[in-house]
Structures are given as C-alpha cells and as structure tokens.
C-alpha cells in the first residue's frame, strides 16, 4: 500500500516521515520528488509499506 502525503513543510525529511508513519507499520519506501525548476523538495511524498 502506498500513501500520498501533500502540503509538507520544506523542513520535513525521510526520518520524520518514518517516525510518523512507523506508528502504523514498517515504512519500506519513501519517495520525495524535487521540483524541476527550483531543485527544492516538491512538498509531497509517497510512503509505502510493501503490502
């Protein structure tokens, strides 16, 4: 199963997401794309747990 998360702060990193979603099961994948124009994180992510 994968979960889309939007409107993230620019300060959020993969460790933060693992901590929050780890309460609901093991997080096996986190994809945090970058904005093509700015190179900054796009403030979205896809978290998955391998189900």
What pairs with residue 41 in β-bridges? Answer: 34
pLDDT of residue 49: 85
pLDDT of residue 41: 92
Beta strands in the chain (DSSP E): 2-5, 29-31, 45-48
Write down the domain spans for the chain: 2-48
37: which 2 tokens?
């124009």
Q: What pLDDT, in 10s, does the model give residues 2-31? A: 999 999 999 999 999 999 999 989 999 999
pTM of the predicted protein model: 0.79
Q: What pLDDT, in 10s, does the model give residues 38-50? A: 999 999 999 998 6
Q: What is the CATH number of domain 2-48?
A: 3.30.70.330
What per-residue string of b and e applies to 11-49 under the rule 16 or more CB within 10 Å gives b? eeeeeebeeebeeeeebeebebeeeeeeeebeeebebee
């Amino acid at each position: 199963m994968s979960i889309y998360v939007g409107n993230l702060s620019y300060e959020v990193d993969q460790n933060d997401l693992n901590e929050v979603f780890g309460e609901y099961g093991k997080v096996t994948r986190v994809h945090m794309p970058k904005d093509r124009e700015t190179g900054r994180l796009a403030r979205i992510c896809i978290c998955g747990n391998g189900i």
